[in-house]
Amino acid sequence: MTDTALPPRRFRLPAALRHWSIATGAVILAVVVLAAILAPWVAPYDPFRMGSGPRLSPPGAAHWFGTDELGRDLFSRVLLGARASLGIGLAAVVAGLGLGVSFGLVIAFCPARLKGLLLRIVDVVYSFPDTLLALALVAFLGPGAENATLAIAISLIPFYARVTYGLAAVERAKPYVEAAQIAGTAPTRIMRVQVLPNILQSLIVIGSIGFSSAILSAAGLSFLGLGVQPPSPEWGSILASGRNYIARAPWILIFPGLAICLTVLSFNLIGDGIRDLTDPKGRRRRG
Amino acid sequence: MTVLPRLTLSALLLGASALTALPLAAETTLTVARSVDADGLDPQKVSTTQSSQVTDLIFDTLVSLDATGAPHPALAESWTISEDNLTYSFTIRQGLTCHDGAAFGPEDVVFTFTRAVAPETMNPRLSQYGPIESVTAEGNVVTVKMTEPYGPFLSYLGSFALPMLCKGSVAADGAFAPIGTGPFSLVEWVRNDHITLKANDAYQGFGQLVENKGRPHIDTLKLVVIPEAVARMAALRSGEVDLAEPSLEEAAMLSGEPGFKIYSADLSGQQVMAAFTWKLPPFDNPEVRRAIGMALDRDAYAAIAYEGLVSPTTCPAAPGLIGVDQEKCAEWGTKYDPDAARAIMEGLGYTPQNPLKIKLSVHALPGFDQMHQMMQQHLAEIGVEAELETREVAAFFDQMSQENQRTEGMPVLWTMGYSGVDSDYMTVMWQQPGFVNMGVGAELDTMLADQRMLTGEARVAKLQEVQKYLLENTYAVPLVSPGWNWLWASTDKIEGFKTGFVASLIFNDVKKID
Amino acid sequence: MLTFVARRLLTAAITILVVVFLAGVLIHLVPGDPITAMLAQSGNASAADIARLTQQYGLDRPVWQQALIYVGNVLQGDLGTTIRGNEPVAPLLLGRLPNTIALAVAGLGTALALGIPMGVIAAVNRGRAADFAVMLIAILGVSIPGFWMGLTFIQVFSLHLGWFPVAGTSARNIVLPALTLGIVHSALVARMTRSALIDILNEDYIRTARARGLREREVLMVHAMRPAMISIVTVVGLVFAHLLGGQVITENVFSWNGIGRLAIQAMLQRDYPLVQGFIVIFATSIVLVTTALDLLYGLLDPRVRRR
């Protein structure tokens, strides 16, 4: 118990990059981000143009990743798809983290009875199948990239709220917060000035964990046809429209699938590394 | 002591060799993979194609339609229609047995009709029964009285939507168990997993599309649910199932591969078309609708989006249905002509630099998805910028019933598919308020009401008048037929599988060869 | 003590009711209605049919009224009948629960069978190449989209190798979906095993055991694994809860007849009674489990009761 009460270990970037999994993850992520940024200049073809090549032609010199069912260049589409996938992931995590942290803090500081009920509700929503939750939300909001992002963000809220509550409850029990409360400081001020800065670092770490699940959720929603709308390329939607070519033109599934794997892998590696570095147990007996 | 076992052994061996010598004596099970399960097996409470495909195997119909849609005797051995087209008298065939062993008779027919139209049944297909006033039986004759003439009645009685139940289907406590006179009886249903049916030994068939009028050749029919198309096709290729709903993409590939057969539902009655929210400017201008109709290349959609497994069509009702004539419709409707379309749009001030912005609202279906992306590109060529908006089915039709009522906002081009055994479905769709509020106006309403009162050539002429009106005013742009759930694939060990009206499945003639 | 138990149970009951009511309201706000969706797929739907059925099912009433009626029915133990096919909701859902639990247990078993050895190897070789390699494999497993892995497994193991059937709900069918779920969840198990073991291997009594000349294998299996299992068990609960709910897409890909697939279908068809029934059953089991844990903590630690 004493471990969690210790102030979090300072987290320094140069040192972190020496951690094998963070370094590997960072390299992969850098490539993906670079691809997303440079896509319009690097892509050999217009990713939307049908008949850039013969339909369903296999990977080759003219089309590195082959072409899809409408003769569009798959390499160009996967390249541009990085933008949609990363964009959705980033937006969903930022929005979900913001709202989740607010909820978590409010729950931590609300009267005991209400707290019990709110926590239970958060628990129930958190334990709900995330696919079903996101699906219900997209059905409610309508399909499309923005709504899918929102749905993923909302489905991330209970997780972030639960974690924030846990961290904030620990902070709240500390003498300096109790002192502030006795001194009559407003709860909102305590949250903002004393609690939030102290848990911020842990939250950033948790944010990176949400990233990989957000990207997988986005791919899943697109796979169900509820995410990014055609003809815009997104890895999940390329997979969804190409899945029935698994026997005839497997490259339509292989390349976007690999892109998802590598991107999610990079975030997971970074998250794993950060956890490793900040895990109080692992650290105490280091050396 | 040693003689007896030896004898038994040789008797066993003899028996075994006799069994192998007579392959027909072995039980034949046909396993069929579908994407979606039935909602229920009570034909008066369900309405989806996947449900009716099953109830159609358990129950038979009063009349049987031939390939041209003309009615022939089935459970009714004959019938007469009164001069005023209000009274139908059906003579019910004798000597038929229900799955529970009871004799099938006129009282079962009366039971079926009475239950079908009772409000507490909550029958989703009530309107197809028509304006029924009374149903009575006298001797072998069942008399159905209508309050007004109802032209499509016999067509619907021949479809899987209005089958005849046996009284035994409903127990004293109201519980329902499907008991009919059809070629198969129900053994087991595990919802969302499988339905097991066994051949009805006492079956007497009257289906016009069927050769084998007796008991089906196969003994057991197992309908399994495999929602993912990739898995369905893997199951077919691995031999786990004999027949499967293929994905469009793999069907195209299999059709050129030895060892497999592809079936297309020729009598599907399905029609895919594009429609407009014509109350919203500039879609209130028939010229704009016309230009858009001319931009859509139905030949390309059929060949590329649907992999050549459908045909381009020009009529608002499906090929093969009464009053449907593709050549006449081609005259009345729009032809693919992007240059002329572009000229019309330019004349109205819309260019690729200053495009008309519309929404292309659709719901996701195989083939449709690719077609919509192609439509989007074709529209861009004539100065129309279409934003694709895909919804799932429930939300899509809800959205369209609102869009079709709006009088301001962004115009919407939308696609839909409709199916049935009679061109009368144009009434269901276009008569105000119409399906999802797509009704057009009083002039069309009158024509649609009139065709229901007519029979024969007069009805054909009136149905064509309806289609001419829809096409000349470009309320509809017919695209292709069929369009959904119409494909089947089997291994080449299966012989005699057929599809009937509205994508029904016919297993009476199916044989499994080795 | 009694008041503590009573208070906890009351909170639990109120939570379930609030969740059910909220779900009832929210689901009706989702655009699209079951009748239009159902009749649109029938090919012959007149506007009159739609209006009549909407009224007969009570779907034209205000949303809050429908939700209240529903809560009232649930209090009387009635989960209603489905709109599609008119079947009682409760047996439909409860009949699928064993399948879902079976797959969750099999997935959990696979996750442990894969994760624990990986964690052990990583911990023993801490900081060496084997540690990196094993953890990279574990993390790679959690990075592959489940549906993609599932489709690939079907192609490879069912179609090309013919080892397992493609579809269905039986003992032989469970292998591939369990493997898919197991791989996805093994990373967490591997991670927990690794960090728990690393902790324990640094403890003084392990050093003593080593100093006594015990073989490394014995030290690991006898002295280190047992205490490590305690940490691993805490993960098991987490993974299991997630598996119960999070296997919807896997169920679909492998045609596993579970509760998640039914729920997704009900959601897409707007079969309100079925969706609400799912929410009631799901929420009740979650609340019951958390309440039971709470009571247990309360019994073990008197301080909790005063909260």
Which C residues 85-114 touch A at CB under 8 Å? none
Q: Which pLDDT score, from 0 to 100, does residue B324 have?
A: 95
pLDDT in tens, A209-231: 788 888 888 888 887 777 787 77
pLDDT at A265 over 50: yes
The mean pLDDT value for C291-301 works out to 68
In this prediction, residue C44 has a pLDDT band, given cuts at 50, 70 and 90, of low
A51 is a domain residue: no
* CA–CA gap between residue B264 and residue B302 (Å, rounded): 14
pLDDT at C229 over 70: yes
Which C residues 162-181 touch B at CB under 8 Å? 162, 165-169
Write down the mean pLDDT value for chain A: 80
Q: Which pLDDT score, from 0 to 100, does residue B194 have?
A: 94
Q: Which pLDDT score, from 0 to 100, does residue B53 have?
A: 94
The mean pLDDT value for C180-185 works out to 91
* CA–CA gap between residue B258 and residue C26 (Å, rounded): 52
In this prediction, residue C297 has a pLDDT band, given cuts at 50, 70 and 90, of low
Which of C140, C290, C307 is the closest to A123 by Cβ? C290
In this prediction, residue A109 has a pLDDT band, given cuts at 50, 70 and 90, of confident
pLDDT in tens, B242-264: 999 998 888 888 887 889 999 99
For residue B60, what are the contacts with CB-CB under 8 A and spacing of at least 6? Answer: B74, B75, B163, B164, B180, B181, B182, B205, B206
Q: Which chains touch A (3 or more CB pairs under 8 A)?
A: B, C
What residues form DSSP beta bridges with B132? B146
Residues of chain B with CATH 3.10.105.10: 271-481
* CA–CA gap between residue B261 and residue B280 (Å, rounded): 47
Cα B282 to chain centroid, rounded = 34
A1 is a domain residue: no
pLDDT in tens, B193-230: 999 999 999 999 999 999 999 999 999 999 999 998 88
pLDDT at B388 over 50: yes
In Å, how far are B78, B84, B135, B214, C102 from B146, measured between CA atoms? 19, 10, 9, 34, 55
Which H or E run contains A213? helix A196-223
The mean pLDDT value for A146-169 works out to 85
Q: Which pLDDT score, from 0 to 100, does residue A7 have?
A: 40
C-beta atoms of A124 and C19 within 8 A: yes
Q: Which pLDDT score, from 0 to 100, does residue B426 have?
A: 93
User: Are the beta carbons of B206 and B192 closer than 8 angstroms?
Assistant: no
Q: What DSSP string describes C186-229?
A: HHHHHHHHHHHHHHHHTSHHHHHHHHTT--HHHIIIIIIHHHHH
Which B residues 6-35 touch C at CB under 8 Å? 33
CATH topology of domain B6-14+26-245+487-512: D-Maltodextrin-Binding Protein; domain 2 (3.40.190)
The residue that leads in pLDDT, B20 or B257, is: B257
Q: Does C28 lie at the interface with B, CB-CB under 8 angstroms?
A: no
A52 is a domain residue: no
pLDDT at A9 over 60: no
Please tell me the pTM assigned to this model. 0.85
* CA–CA gap between residue A42 and residue A287 (Å, rounded): 47
User: Are the beta carbons of B320 and B69 closer than 8 angstroms?
Assistant: yes
Q: Which pLDDT score, from 0 to 100, does residue B393 have?
A: 79
In this prediction, residue B9 has a pLDDT band, given cuts at 50, 70 and 90, of very low
Tell me how close the Cα of C92 comes to any Cα of chain B, in angstroms.
8
Residues of C in contact with B118 (CB under 8 A): none
The mean pLDDT value for B401-421 works out to 91
In this prediction, residue C87 has a pLDDT band, given cuts at 50, 70 and 90, of confident
Ranked by mean pLDDT, the top range of A110-124, B7-21, B345-359, B393-407 is B345-359
Residues of A in contact with C14 (CB under 8 A): 117
C-beta atoms of B388 and A231 within 8 A: yes
Q: Does C295 lie at the interface with A, CB-CB under 8 angstroms?
A: no
In this prediction, residue C41 has a pLDDT band, given cuts at 50, 70 and 90, of low
Nearest to B237 by CA among C235, C160, A190: C160
Residues of B in contact with A229 (CB under 8 A): 388-390
Q: Which pLDDT score, from 0 to 100, does residue A286 have?
A: 34
- In which domain, by residue range, is A29 found? 13-46+63-282
> Encoding tokens for residue A40?
């319009």
pLDDT in tens, B108-144: 999 999 999 998 888 888 888 999 999 999 999 999 9
The mean pLDDT value for C251-278 works out to 85
φ/ψ of C104, rounded to 5, equals -65, -45
Which of B250, B388, B392 is the closest to A244 by Cβ? B250
Q: Which pLDDT score, from 0 to 100, does residue A287 have?
A: 29
pLDDT in tens, A200-210: 777 776 777 78
Write down the mean pLDDT value for chain C: 81
Q: Which pLDDT score, from 0 to 100, does residue C183 have?
A: 93
Coil/strand/helix, residue B486: coil
In this prediction, residue C234 has a pLDDT band, given cuts at 50, 70 and 90, of low
pLDDT at B83 over 60: yes
The mean pLDDT value for B405-419 works out to 92
What total number of domains does chain A contain?
1
Alpha-helical runs (H) found in C30-144: 34-40, 47-56, 63-75, 89-124, 129-143
pLDDT at B10 over 50: no
Query: How large a percentage of chain C has pLDDT more than 70?
Result: 90
Q: Which pLDDT score, from 0 to 100, does residue C126 have?
A: 82
The mean pLDDT value for B144-151 works out to 93
Tell me how close the Cα of A270 comes to any Cα of chain C, in angstroms.
10
Write down the mean pLDDT value for chain B: 90
For residue C261, what are the contacts with CB-CB under 8 A and spacing of at least 6? Answer: B192, B227, C248, C251, C252
Question: Which region among A273-277, B99-103, B433-437 has the lowest average model confidence (pLDDT)?
Answer: A273-277
The mean pLDDT value for C203-214 works out to 78
pLDDT at B15 over 60: no
A7 is a domain residue: no
Q: Pairing relation of β-strands B356-363 and B384-391?
A: parallel
The mean pLDDT value for C230-247 works out to 72
In this prediction, residue C45 has a pLDDT band, given cuts at 50, 70 and 90, of low
Q: Pairing relation of β-strands B141-146 and B132-138?
A: antiparallel
C-beta atoms of A131 and C135 within 8 A: no
C-beta atoms surrounding A88 within 10 Å: 27
User: Are the beta carbons of C246 and C159 closer than 8 angstroms?
Assistant: no
Exposed/middle/buried for residue B508 (C-beta within 10 Å: 0-12, 13-18, 19+): buried
> Encoding tokens for residue B282?
């500039």
Nearest to A243 by CA among B487, B369, B491, C183: B369
> Encoding tokens for residue C133?
């390699």
Coil/strand/helix, residue C172: helix
pLDDT at A54 over 50: yes
Residues of chain B with CATH 3.40.190.10: 6-14+26-245+487-512
CA dihedral over A115, A116, A121, A125, signed as positive or negative: positive
pLDDT in tens, C16-29: 888 778 777 777 77
User: Are the beta carbons of B61 and B160 closer than 8 angstroms?
Assistant: yes
- Closest residue of chain A to C26, computed from CA coordinates: A140
- Closest residue of chain B to A231, computed from CA coordinates: B373
The mean pLDDT value for A185-197 works out to 79
Architecture of domain B271-481: Roll (3.10)
Cα A199 to chain centroid, rounded = 19
Q: Which pLDDT score, from 0 to 100, does residue B14 have?
A: 43
Q: Which pLDDT score, from 0 to 100, does residue B240 have?
A: 93
Q: Which pLDDT score, from 0 to 100, does residue B475 have?
A: 96
Q: What ranges make up the beta strands (E) of B324-400?
A: 356-363, 384-391
The mean pLDDT value for A82-103 works out to 90
Q: Does B103 lie at the interface with A, CB-CB under 8 angstroms?
A: no
N-terminal to C-terminal alpha carbon distance within chain A: 22
Which of B190, B396, B502 is the closest to C43 by Cβ? B502
In this prediction, residue B18 has a pLDDT band, given cuts at 50, 70 and 90, of very low
pLDDT in tens, C92-120: 888 888 898 899 999 999 999 999 999 99
pLDDT at A283 over 80: no
In this prediction, residue A6 has a pLDDT band, given cuts at 50, 70 and 90, of very low
pLDDT in tens, A34-47: 988 988 888 888 88
Which residue out of B396, B435, B438 would a mutagenesis test of the C interface target, given it has the greatest number of C Cβ atoms within 10 Å? Answer: B435
pLDDT at A57 over 80: yes
The mean pLDDT value for B374-398 works out to 88
The mean pLDDT value for C249-273 works out to 85
Identity at C36, one-letter amino acid code:
T
Q: What is the CATH classification number for the domain harbouring A162?
A: 1.10.3720.10
Question: Which region among B20-29, B241-250, C206-215 has the lowest average model confidence (pLDDT)?
Answer: B20-29
In this prediction, residue B463 has a pLDDT band, given cuts at 50, 70 and 90, of very high
